Amino acid sequence: MYGSLKGKDYISTQDWSKEELELALEKAAELKFMFKNGIPHRFLPDKTIFLLFFDKSTRTRNSFEAGITQLGGHAHFIEASTSQIAHGESPKDTGIILSSYGHGIAIRHDLVPGEGNAYMREIARWADKPVINMQCDVDHPCQTLADLMTIRERFGKNLRGLKIAVSWAYAPSYAKPLSVPQGLIMLMTRFGLDVTLAHPPEFKLMDSVMEIARKNAQEAGVKFEVVDDMDAAFENADIVYPKSWGIESLFHKPEEALAVAKKYQDWICDQRRMKLARPEAIYMHCLPADRGNEVTDEVIDGPQSVVYQEAENRLHTCKAIMALTM
């Protein structure tokens, strides 16, 4: 079935079947073993991927650049603001031309609701090579696949009956995208986890994503609930994933969103809240975490934190997606 994924876009985990996602996870585990044991795995010799960024990045850019190098290929980094895209070049022209130069296009376009996902799908419409979502306004499928890989490394493949709390947390730095919590509620409901989403009333996720999460939960026979109390979400959770995100209707007015967020500065993941979860619960975050606001140092640096294992797995899942699709 590996061959059936060649040329397939990876814009949302929802676009792939559970069986296809399982293949990606299997390939990621294989690549992680090979990397750890110094076994060469040049599965993409002489292949080129274009990395198109509309936003800043640390883990995403470096996991793709390191990953394609380890697979025997090469990455071209393109900052949108320094390319002809900044002068209005169309997605059609960009997609056709870049796909004629190489073997894959990866895009990060996450800051404006209603733009990033649509842009990627328009590129994919015209490109004849796979398009990979490095984070958009709707989903962050490379991150959430690494999250799922990390959870399964800790708890095993059968996750049924386990609870993940996906919670908003306070951060004063900037209005962060909605894509990570949205990606989590879409993906985790498909793989046996009971999902509790917690946020203050103003910080709702996109209606379309919420509908997908409800449908996924119903089809999988798991729970999906929404609460407005961080403590309630953490109670008896096996996995806690607290992070900040902005207000969809105020992304063009970030200062207003940050002013609203100040009302909820007590939404922090601290040791008191970790004690509400199960004793063996793990703390997760896509990073960078806003220390002292989203989470205390005691938690993120403590024994329940798996953030570095989670970040490391970004390399292996990104490599798996490239190896399977390119």
Instruction: Give residue 21's pLDDT.
Output: 98
Instruction: Give residue 3's pLDDT.
Output: 74
Same domain, 306 and 166: yes
Same domain, 20 and 123: yes
Same domain, 157 and 287: yes
Same domain, 110 and 249: no
Q: Rounded CA gap, 110 and 179, in Å?
A: 8
Instruction: Give residue 2's pLDDT.
Output: 63
Same domain, 155 and 188: yes
Same domain, 155 and 283: yes
Q: Which class for 115: exposed (0-12), middle (13-18), buried (19 or more C-beta within 10 A)?
A: middle
Same domain, 185 and 92: no
Residues belonging to the chain: 326
Angle (CA) 171-173-177 rounded to 5° is 75
Structure tokens at 142: 């490379």
Q: List CB contacts of 254: < 8 A, sequence separation 6 or more.
A: 174, 175, 246
Q: Are 102 and 48 in contact (CB under 8 A)?
A: yes
Instruction: Say how many CA atoms lie within 13 Å of 185 toward its Cβ.
Output: 31
pTM over 0.75: yes
Expressed as residue numbers, the domain containing 111 is: 2-140+314-325
Low pLDDT (below 50) residues in the chain: none
Same domain, 125 and 205: no
- AA letter at 96: I
Same domain, 127 and 173: no
User: How many domains does the chain contain in total?
Assistant: 2
Rg value, the chain, Cα: 19
Instruction: Give residue 1's pLDDT.
Output: 57
Same domain, 24 and 108: yes
Q: Rounded CA gap, 256 and 294, in Å?
A: 19
Sign of CA dihedral 244, 193, 148, 55: negative
Q: Rounded CA gap, 190 and 213, in Å?
A: 8
Same domain, 125 and 164: no
Q: Are 316 and 29 in contact (CB under 8 A)?
A: yes
Residue 1 CB neighbours (<10 A): 9
Same domain, 150 and 95: no
CATH number of the domain residue 202 falls in: 3.40.50.1370
Structure tokens at 241: 């994933």
Residue with tokens 């063996």: 280
